[in-house]
Every structure is written in C-alpha cells, then in structure tokens.
Amino acid sequence: MTTQWLTDLASYLDQLEETAAELNAAVQTNRSLTRDGAFGSLHEATVGLQEGLSVMERLLEQRRTLLDRADAPGPAYSLRDALTLLMRQTADEAVARSMLERCQALSRQIDQIREDALALFVCQFHLADTTSHFLRLLLPNAEVADTYSPHARAHQGGSLLDQAG
C-alpha cells in the first residue's frame, strides 16, 4: 500500500536532510579552515566530508530501492515523478504534495552544497599552487599554462618585474 511507501519515504527524506546538513557543515568547515589558513586541520575536516559523501551515496542507492518497490506509485525515474503520479492517483494528494516540496527543497540545498564544494576545490587547487604562480610572475623564462583554456598552451611569464621598472 502507498501509505507504507509514504512512511518509508518520509524516513528517507529525514535521513537525507540530516546528511545534507552534515555535508554542508563539513564544506563550510573546510571553507573556514582554508580562508583562515589553518591548513594543518584540513585533513581531518576533509575526512568528515568524505564520510558524508559516502553516506549520501548509500542514500542514493536507497532511493532507487524505494522507487523500485512494488508499493511505489508506478514506474518512476525520480521521487518527484513518483510523487507527481501519487498526487494524481490517490486521496493522499496533500501528503504527496508536502513530500514533493521537501524533495524540491532538498534538491536546491544539495545543489548549493555541490556548488560550494566545487568553489572550495577550485580555491584550494589554486592555493596549493601559489608558490608556482609567484615564481611564474617573477622569472622571465617561466612557462605559464592557461588553466581554463580548452587549448592549454604555455606562454612566457616574468612580465611583472619587467613592467615594474
């Protein structure tokens, strides 16, 4: 019956919300440590982020199991699709609509966490290479690769001191 499926879905969404909050906290901790230059503490904070991602992966597997159950509201690719079907099929429209809103809010939250984590990665990538960046600026024959160019080619560095004179 769909009532049990909705109960299990509510439990799943509770777990997903908790995991998303933990992931967000881990990303923000890493971000603060990076901003403050506390690089010695980053490894420990990164371990927490890895654990949160592992939990999120397991939850995604549970989502597929939830969608494939016999009492799920028809064949659906996503929870949003299943809940939309459920809203049309049963008298549980209000409950299904509420669950759909939770799914959409969680989706936005996870997208924001992903965006923050990607920005953090790019920041840490460039911070890890700061010494090389300074050397390229100072040394006249240093090769400089275009990081974001699809046609990554090297050009000569060292113009900083040439222009300063």
- When pLDDT is cut at 50, 70 and 90, the band that residue 128 belongs to is confident
Cβ–Cβ < 8 Å for 4, 40: no
Q: What is the pTM of this model?
A: 0.72
Question: Average of pLDDT values for 148-156?
Answer: 54
8 Å CB contact between 34 and 26: no
- One-letter-per-residue 3-state SS of 102-126: HHHHHHHHHHHHHHHHHHHHHHHHH
Mean pLDDT of 19-41: 87
d(CA 160, CA 127): 20
Q: Tens digit of pLDDT for each residue in 136-150?
A: 777 766 565 555 556
| Helix or strand run (H / E) with residue 156 | strand 154-156
Provide the pLDDT for residue 144: 54
pLDDT score at 165: 43
* Amino acid occupying residue 39: F
Give the relative orientation of helices 79-89 and 2-36 as an angle to the nearest 10 degrees. Answer: 150
Q: Is the dihedral of CA 131, 137, 140, 142 positive or negative?
A: positive
What's the number of CA atoms in the CB half-sphere (13 Å) around residue 47? 4
Domains annotated for the chain, with CATH where assigned, are 2-128 (1.20.58), 129-165 (no CATH)
Asked if residue 2 has pLDDT above 80, the reply is no
Are 70 and 54 in contact by the 8 Å Cβ rule? The answer is no
In sequence order, the 6+-apart residues with CB closer than 8 A to the CB of 49 are 23, 26, 27, 30, 117
pLDDT mean over 29-36: 86
Q: How confident is the model at residue 43 (pLDDT cuts 50, 70, 90)?
A: confident
How far is it, in rounded angstroms, from Cα 18 to Cα 9?
A: 14
User: Which has the closest alpha carbon to 121: 31, 52, 24?
Assistant: 31
